[in-house]
Structure 1
Amino acid sequence: MALESKQTGSWLVCKTCGTQFPTDDKTKVTTCFICDDPRQYVPPSGQSFISLDVLRSDGQYKNVFTPIDADPEHLIAIATEPKVGIGQRAILVRTSKGNVLWDCITLLDDETIAKVKELGGLKAIVISHPHYYSTHLEWARAFRCPVYLAIEDMKWLAQHDADWQIFISETETQIHGTTVLKLGGHFPGSMVMLYDGKLLIADTFLTTPSGLGNWDADALGTARERPAGMSSFAFMWSYPNMIPLAPDALEAMWAVLKGYEFGSTHGAFPGMDIVKTPREMKKRVLESMQIQIRYSGHGEHAMLKESFV
């Protein structure tokens, strides 16, 4: 195989979140500390593990590359089918300064390496938050590139390697033609990435069904406006356990994000892309925050008076 890290192929990978642990000894890793956190979960069947060797040899798992409609030349989603772990997609951002991988997925095989190299390789990997740490050191070693992680979330690392991991302490960081913004919330260091007016949000905030809804016409084909009061995004401390963020956390996120322009958002999972005008996108983010604050019983919170020009 072209993979350099063959010895790590037998290491244990959590079936639920896709995190790799640096051992193949099942007596040393009996549970996943990421899934034991209230922001994740252990399924009713209990904790279980697999390995990259098994995923690669199984024959059914493959990574699918899908250009994103908003910018198919520069944004390419990479997702594993059938789903592995949480099922998130990584997004290959092709900038004039080199390719950056936004977030990471567990499966890395020769076919994936060849395809990414065909597309220009990788200059860097940036991961939004610990649920997507997955096998990031496998990717870093395969492409000889650093992985950028939020310094606030270091304790969630199952593996440490100073040769490849770089920790972000700033609110704004420029990385090979992209702007990485630390918003916090879901995790203390949760991040988003801005590239050419497109905001890659992972699940630092999550696209809602009404955010994706199409109100351009009714059943008879008559044009109409989107109904008022519709949320486009949810802001959660725990998504699988449905625990929302507090209003002050949303206020802190908005304090960072309001200073930037973006005309689309691209979430953690396939199909979670919203493309509008920059004004409409920013309006939707603020309105979604205000809806969550209002309906969680904080009718006097200062964020409800927030607006933008």
Structure 2
Amino acid sequence: MASPSEPSYDQNRTSSWLVCKTCGTQFPTDDKTKITTCFICDDPRQYVPPSGQSFVSLGTLRASGHRNVFTPMPVDPERLIAINSQPKVAIGQRAILVRTAQGGILWDCVTLLDSETIARVEELGGLKAIVISHPHYYSTHLEWARAFRCPVYLAAEDSRWLTQQDARHQVFLTETETDVLGTTVLKLGGHFPGSLVMLFEDRLLIADTFFATPSGLGNWETDALGAVRERPSGMSSFSFMWSYPNMIPLGPDDLQQMWRVLKNYQFNSTHGAFPGLDVVVQTPGELKRRVLESMQIQIRHSGHGEHAMLKETASW
């Protein structure tokens, strides 16, 4: 992707640049008089903590014992590898390395990048692309792109939240559907205007374009005595929020737009932005039905009992 004349990746060049402690986004300077606040956290979808805005650097994170942990995901342990920074950095999201037949894709991004992480990713086949779901996970995506010399796919609608631009690496998606190395990247919108999900065969990587609820994660197959039971009806499996930390839900028209795209695709599992948020079902069509049911529950309980979305059905 990058031109042959581009300098080789050098982690020391940017090691002192400022990184927002709250969201993990990197700014291209180490001058704290130039960057006093993070405009991503000032956006009403995010927040500034009570202690106020503060910054760290990649160099400090590397020197303070932070490391990335690679965890094969049980649903497909050879091809889906979660990458999570420990101790927690910023929001605490995971990236997912998707090992397709055409090459590795990093779905979303974590802030921490070090030589150990680069070596481990290369052992697993390297990266040919990075796809970022929305601005809260922009983090240090250009560091990753330069290290692996690969493109980063971003929704064009969300470019205003970038702290850095690099035409050699950043590719802005304008279509609702984009093929990336055999996966299907879908623009659903909602949480952000360009919020993305990615379909890898029948696995839907959702970040927090929508979010698995506790009842969606619950085990409804057996009761306390081991008897088989049906999942109670009318339970939500997913929430759809404009702001997750501030608990502001999306309205029915946003959900309708998301469903217009998603209803055309089939999937048997969803994989969220954080560990422990995977929903896997065995019955074809069941999870898609649950997504629609969850949308309809949110619409109905927000006082829109006559909305057209309540008449939608999910087909397989």
| TM-score in same-fold range (> 0.5) | yes
CA distance in structure 1 between the aligned counterparts of 2:111 and 2:81, rounded to whole angstroms: 17
1:5 Cα shift? 3.6
- Counterpart for residue 139 of structure 1: 144
- Counterpart for residue 170 of structure 2: 165
Question: 2:62 aligned with 1:56, yes or no?
Answer: yes
8 Å contact kept, 1:206–1:233: yes
8 Å contact kept, 1:5–1:141: no
**In the comparison of the two structures, how many residue pairs are matched?**
307
Unmatched runs of 5 consecutive residues or more in structure 2: 1-7
8 Å contact kept, 1:39–1:239: yes
Query: What CA RMSD, in Å, does the superposition of the two structures yield over aligned residues?
Result: 0.9
- Counterpart for residue 84 of structure 1: 89
- Counterpart for residue 5 of structure 2: none
After TM superposition, list the pairs within 5 Å mapping 1:278-293 onto structure 2. Answer: 278-293=284-299
Question: CA offsets, 1:63-112, max 9 Å, x none?
Answer: 00011111111110000011101000000000000000000000000000
The correspondence for 2:190, drawn from 163, 185, 189, is 185
Give secondary structure in 1 for the equivalent of 2:136: helix
- Counterpart for residue 46 of structure 1: 52
8 Å contact kept, 1:150–1:169: yes
- Counterpart for residue 267 of structure 2: 262
CA distance in structure 2 between the aligned counterparts of 1:241 and 1:115, rounded to whole angstroms: 36
CA distance in structure 2 between the aligned counterparts of 1:19 and 1:138, rounded to whole angstroms: 11
CA distance in structure 2 between the aligned counterparts of 1:112 and 1:255, rounded to whole angstroms: 38
1:217 Cα shift? 1.4
8 Å contact kept, 2:11–2:114: no
CA distance in structure 2 between the aligned counterparts of 1:199 and 1:27, rounded to whole angstroms: 42
The correspondence for 1:30, drawn from 17, 32, 36, is 36
> TM-score, normalised on structure 1?
0.98
> TM-score, normalised on structure 2?
0.96
After TM superposition, list the pairs within 5 Å mapping 1:84-163 onto structure 2. Answer: 84-163=89-168
The runs of 4+ residues in structure 1 deviating greater than 2 Å are none
Question: 2:256 aligned with 1:244, yes or no?
Answer: no
- Counterpart for residue 202 of structure 1: 207
CA distance in structure 1 between the aligned counterparts of 2:91 and 2:139, rounded to whole angstroms: 10
Aligned-pair identity (%): 76
- Counterpart for residue 18 of structure 2: 12
CA distance in structure 1 between the aligned counterparts of 2:294 and 2:47, rounded to whole angstroms: 26
Give secondary structure in 1 for the equivalent of 2:13: helix
